[in-house]
Structure 1
Amino acid sequence: MDPGGASPRCRLLLAVCWVVAAGTAAEAEVLPPPSNLEYSFIQICTLNWTWSPPENISSSCDLEYSSDIVIGEVPQDKREWSKSRFRVTDMFLNEEMRFKVRSECKHNNASKPSRWVETSLPPKGIPGTAAVDLSCVWHNLEYMVCTWRPGENASSDTNYTLFYWFDGLKKHKKCSNYSVHQGIFGCIFNLTFPKVTNTYPAISILIRDDSEEIRPVCASKNPTTLVKPATPRQVTLSKINDEIHVEWSQSDTFPKNCLFYEVEYHNGDLDTAPIIKVENTSMSIPSVDPNSKYTFKVRANPKPECYSSKLYSDWSEEKSIGEKTDSTFYVVLIIAIPLIVAVSTIILLVYLKRLKILILPPIPDPREILKRMFGEQNEDSQSCAKDDSLNAYDRLIKEEEIHSLILTETPEYANSEKEN
């Protein structure tokens, strides 16, 4: 075969392949995107996104839609594929929320997915005014307690209001039992379901203020993760021989076999406090020390097959049984007895000394008696002599005064007689 004749054939073959490839590429065109993307509010914190199918789609196209959510420029990785032309999502009011969707022909390589089409829901209110640290607890399947703190930019007179809704309510409800303690807001509302319920709907919670300046906040809570049982009540202890029996009452609001219990007991002579897990409402401790005091308390926790909550109830009031030998009494007694004996001895010695003086008074010395007697007489005689001399002197002075008075009055009397 002439090599020079083969060259036109190769060129022709290459041209044919290029035409086929170009035709195939032309057929694999990009699908048009969905149209009329919009949202509507179903209930509080719940949005319904809807869109229309792309136009001029081949009937052989198995059309599906891919959608995703972006919160504050961060994709939430919640992409879903569906043939439906709507999607219900939770609402995020504290940040900008964007929803995007595109169309694609599944199981068909003749076309490429369309471009993304998106719309957004901008936040309202002043940043930093929304409620923060929202926390809710479902107490004993009877009522829910939600607490939150005010936003850092919220004014002191901000009046937050809580609304809640779940599937089964015709209309959202407003919480009315509010409280404020040390800057923490709280609200309590009743929340009950039939005991036979195996699944529980999500609880949508909206916290906002009547002022448009306060940014609202939404949250969706799975109630099964918030369950906190009530504290076990009517804890009773009984002792039979060397065994202690513990029993308590079961909550009426929980389905049967949906709680397990922890029993902590403490032996007064030991520092450890063992915890025993039981599924019933009673237990026994064998081989107890008859001379020790035992203290018990009980708490409840939901079983994981019923609820996803890891919250324990509060501990019950402690109950005790048995008598513990109080060594402190003996220590005090050992210290007190010698002290009492010592004090009593001192008091007795002082008392005996006084008693000895009363019973056996000291014998006086005769010489001292005579000395005191004569000494007193001398003092009396000297005192008398002194008194006599003083009296004589006084009499002498008085007589001189009388004589001088007589002498003074006599001339005057003589003169008066001469005049007469």
Structure 2
Amino acid sequence: MERPGKLFGLWALLLCVGGGAAYPETQPPVTNLSVSVENLCTVIWTWNPPEGASPNCSLRYITHFSNKQDKKIAPETHRSMEVPLNEKICLQVGSQCDSNESENPSILVEKCTLPPIGDPESAVTEIQCIWHNLNYMKCTWLPGRNTSSDTNYTLFYWHSSLRKIHKCENFSREGEHIGCSFALTMLEDFSFEQYNVQIMVTDKEKKIRPFFHIVHLASHVKPDPPRIKSLFFHNGYLHVQWENPPKFLSRCLSYQVEVNNSQPVTHSIFSVDEDKCQNSEFGENMEGTICFMVPGILPDTLNTVRIRAKTNKLCYEDDKLWSNWSQAMHIGENAKTTLYITMLFILPVIVAAAIIILLLYLKRLKIIIFPPIPDPGKIFKEMFGDQNDDTLHWKRYDIYEKQTKEETDVVVLIENLKKASQ
């Protein structure tokens, strides 16, 4: 009976020396698998090595989520992940003696997180967070279906530069959308692409279901509009110079230059792929300035120029959020400007003259249509007011007239008598 045992031991020893260590086909499962949540959305799974594992086995642990995605094989007895906790999340862990994926792992042990408590229809929807000019982040959302209009929302946020979870205080409402803004300026070395911001939106009364959201800082960045420094014509080109919004490198932004021409009325947008400030035509000391030459612009027409910017994929993940258009700047002359200025001065003179003529004409027309009515008081005053004087006047007039008639008669009588005597 001893001989077969010795032969088996010798065979096992030969396998270890010649062909490597001999391991069982499968290892025992891990023990004490547990899950915990830190901050807002950081989930941590921990476990202990399997009991009864071979001492000659270099243990490796294969982990993946229940959907068999994000598979990982590592010697650590823990795994963490930032993930929104809006649903149940399960991690499966198994042990094996090699990092080779073809190695048969032990029986998989699974541990899940609990989903949020509350009606799923009460959670907020369409949440979106935008990092404005690397200064502040604004998150907006729509209320859930099963919520009242007077719900008092609360937004909590956390990122790796904070020691504790913070609450957002600057709430706003734009139509149906509700929003909240908080400062986010802690990353000045452009290493933010490795960081996330964890968001949770709930209500003060805890009647709605909390909603979790994770914002990757390399995405959803909206810069401020650039500032136009100067416009000038040279060698048949319109030269445009502008300054970047603060905190952005030139290589991290893409631009569009919009030119509106007054005559003929045209609207053109040019994409800027290369900085032309190295050209000697732009002069020296152009640090921090971006330059572009727009072709086909006539200097004898009025041109309106605006610029906007967005992040590109050299530095960021998202390249869809354009800034607002910059303040417009004008250059050139409008062919109708002189006529407009002339009319601006002539029209008031013409209008004033027309008003004066019209007033005079209306006054004359009023006199013709509505002649002045005599004052009856004056008429009666002339007739009756000075009767004593007038009576004496008339009396004197009658006596004089009467005396004149009598004298005339006498003269005529004497002359007749003389003729008769002769």
TM category, shorter? 0.5 to 0.7
The Cα of 1:28 is off from its aligned counterpart by: 4.1
Q: Which moved more, 1:170-179 or 1:257-266?
A: 257-266
Aligned to 1:295: 304
Whichever residue aligns with residue 55 of structure 1, its letter is E
Aligned to 1:66: 62
On the 8 A contact 1:94/1:130 being kept in 2, the answer is no
* Aligned counterparts of 2:266 and 2:228: Cα–Cα separation in 1: 26
Cα shift readout 1:10-53 (whole Å, capped 9, x = no counterpart): xxxxxxxxxx9xxxxx9744322111111122211111111111
The Cα of 1:165 is off from its aligned counterpart by: 1.1
Cα shift readout 1:381-413 (whole Å, capped 9, x = no counterpart): xxxxxxxxxxxxxxxxxxxxxxxxxxxxxxxxx
* Aligned counterparts of 1:230 and 1:177: Cα–Cα separation in 2: 20
Whichever residue aligns with residue 256 of structure 2, its letter is E
Aligned to 2:242: 248
1:281 and 2:281 aligned: no
User: 1:333-352 counterparts in 2 under 5 A?
Assistant: none
Cα shift readout 1:201-237 (whole Å, capped 9, x = no counterpart): 1111111223443211212111111111101124533
On the 8 A contact 1:158/1:209 being kept in 2, the answer is yes
The Cα of 1:259 is off from its aligned counterpart by: 2.5
TM-score, with normalisation over the residues of structure 2? 0.65
1:168 and 2:161 aligned: yes
Q: CA RMSD in A?
A: 3.3
Aligned to 2:316: 307
Q: Could you say if the C-alpha distance between residues 243 and 92 of structure 1 is closer, same or farther in structure 2, counting changes exceeding 3 Å?
A: closer
TM-score, with normalisation over the residues of structure 1? 0.65
The Cα of 1:194 is off from its aligned counterpart by: 4.2
* Aligned counterparts of 1:159 and 1:150: Cα–Cα separation in 2: 11
On the 8 A contact 1:99/1:120 being kept in 2, the answer is yes
On the 8 A contact 2:256/2:269 being kept in 1, the answer is no
The Cα of 1:98 is off from its aligned counterpart by: 1.8
Aligned to 1:322: 332
* Aligned counterparts of 1:93 and 1:174: Cα–Cα separation in 2: 18
Give structure 2 stretches of 5+ with no counterpart: 1-11, 13-21, 276-288, 344-422
On the 8 A contact 1:31/1:111 being kept in 2, the answer is no
* Aligned counterparts of 2:266 and 2:254: Cα–Cα separation in 1: 26
* Aligned counterparts of 1:165 and 1:179: Cα–Cα separation in 2: 20
On the 8 A contact 2:28/2:106 being kept in 1, the answer is yes
User: SS of the residue aligned with 1:128?
Assistant: helix
* Aligned counterparts of 1:213 and 1:287: Cα–Cα separation in 2: 62
Greater radius of gyration (CA): 1
Aligned to 2:217: 223
The Cα of 1:263 is off from its aligned counterpart by: 1.1
Aligned to 1:388: none
* Aligned counterparts of 1:155 and 1:35: Cα–Cα separation in 2: 46
* Aligned counterparts of 1:272 and 1:303: Cα–Cα separation in 2: 25
Q: Could you say if the C-alpha distance between residues 273 and 132 of structure 1 is closer, same or farther in structure 2, counting changes exceeding 3 Å?
A: same
Aligned to 2:349: none
User: SS of the residue aligned with 1:253?
Assistant: coil
* Partner residue of 1:205 out of 168, 190, 199: 199
1:96 and 2:88 aligned: yes
Q: Could you say if the C-alpha distance between residues 238 and 159 of structure 1 is closer, same or farther in structure 2, counting changes exceeding 3 Å?
A: same
User: SS of the residue aligned with 2:59?
Assistant: strand
On the 8 A contact 2:23/2:57 being kept in 1, the answer is no
Q: Could you say if the C-alpha distance between residues 234 and 306 of structure 1 is closer, same or farther in structure 2, counting changes exceeding 3 Å?
A: same
Aligned to 1:267: 261
Aligned to 2:47: 51
* Aligned counterparts of 1:169 and 1:191: Cα–Cα separation in 2: 11
* Aligned counterparts of 1:76 and 1:179: Cα–Cα separation in 2: 41
1:41 and 2:32 aligned: no
User: SS of the residue aligned with 1:193?
Assistant: coil
How many residues are matched?
A: 305
1:30 and 2:40 aligned: no
